[in-house]
A and B are shown apart, each in its own frame.
Chain A
Amino acid sequence: SYELTQPLSVSVALGQTARITCGGNNIGSKNVHWYQQKPGQAPVLVIYRDSNRPSGIPERFSGSNSGNTATLTISRAQAGDEADYYCQVWDSSTAWVFGGGTKLTVL
């Protein structure tokens, strides 16, 4: 079965750039989606198909995907960006797969 690996936590200073990685075998060949989840709320799609932002998502959120690692980048991090972030892919053998999630702390 296909697996996605994320760091448990990432910290970033206010106003700086945060990078959250998502590792998977040849993930660069798949479409990667990213979700933000704040406590007590449903997840929200922030990046789809590697690097596309849904309407209403700030330009500060961007994504890339190559080789065995996809990356969600949050520029000029704000306190409101503190949340859990999950990557997701579709795999032909496993169907939908989520990464374990990364807790982003803004210092």
Chain B
Amino acid sequence: EVQLVESGGGLVQPGGSLRLSCAASGFTFSSYSMNWVRQAPGKGLEWVSYISSSSSTIYYADSVKGRFTISRDNAKNSLYLQMNSLRAEDTAVYYCARDRRSSGYDYWGQGTLVTVSS
């Protein structure tokens, strides 16, 4: 059974940092690209970042470029999102999702809540 489990969310002050993790199981993690998607309270889905299976290709949304860093460790079946210089508008539930490129995101985690507030 495919499982994606996010962790690392919490309350952080503006300007602070947080590192999210996504533990993958039930599939060959190293064969799939992965994404982070976020959803602010009461708002729609916003794509955040993409990383290819070998980490050779990485993309970021303009809203997080220069502040967030996506990475993965295929030996540990884990995906990460390092978030720096956090702002109130980064408050959201953050989801990791498996990417099938021409077929969308077929599996999502349950999400982890990040709250940026003083």
- Report which A residues bind B (CB closer than 8 A): 1, 31, 33, 35, 37, 42-45, 48-49, 52, 54, 84, 86, 88, 90, 95-101
Question: Given the complex, which residues of B lie within 8 Å of A99, measured CB to CB?
Answer: 44
A99 to B37, CA, bound (A): 13
A52 to B105, CA, bound (A): 13
Q: Pick the contact of B45 from A1, A43, A49, A90 — CB < 8 Å?
A: A43
B68 at the binding interface (Cβ < 8 Å):
no
- Report which B residues bind A (CB closer than 8 A): 35, 37, 44-47, 50, 59, 61-62, 95, 100-106, 108-111
In the complex, the answer to whether B104 meets A45 with C-beta atoms within 8 Å is yes
In the complex, the answer to whether B45 meets A45 with C-beta atoms within 8 Å is no
Q: Chain B nearest CB: distance from A62 CB in Å?
A: 15
Q: Is the interface of A mostly helix, strand, loop or mixed?
A: strand
A43 to B46, CA, bound (A): 12
In the complex, the answer to whether A98 meets B46 with C-beta atoms within 8 Å is yes
In the complex, the answer to whether A33 meets B44 with C-beta atoms within 8 Å is no
Assuming A90-B101, A95-B50, is B110 touching A42 (CB within 8 A)? yes
In the complex, the answer to whether A1 meets B109 with C-beta atoms within 8 Å is no
A44 to B50, CA, bound (A): 19
Question: Given the complex, which residues of B lie within 8 Å of A45, measured CB to CB?
Answer: 104-106
Question: Given the complex, which residues of A lie within 8 Å of B45, measured CB to CB?
Answer: 35, 37, 43, 86, 98, 101
A86 to B44, CA, bound (A): 8
In the complex, the answer to whether B103 meets A33 with C-beta atoms within 8 Å is yes
Q: Chain A nearest CB: distance from B3 CB in Å?
A: 12
In the complex, the answer to whether B104 meets A88 with C-beta atoms within 8 Å is yes
Q: Which residue of A lies closest to B105 (CB)?
A: A45
A10 to B106, CA, bound (A): 25
Excluding A33-B105, A101-B45, 5 further A-B contacts by CB distance (< 8 Å) are: A49-B102, A84-B44, A96-B47, A98-B37, A98-B47
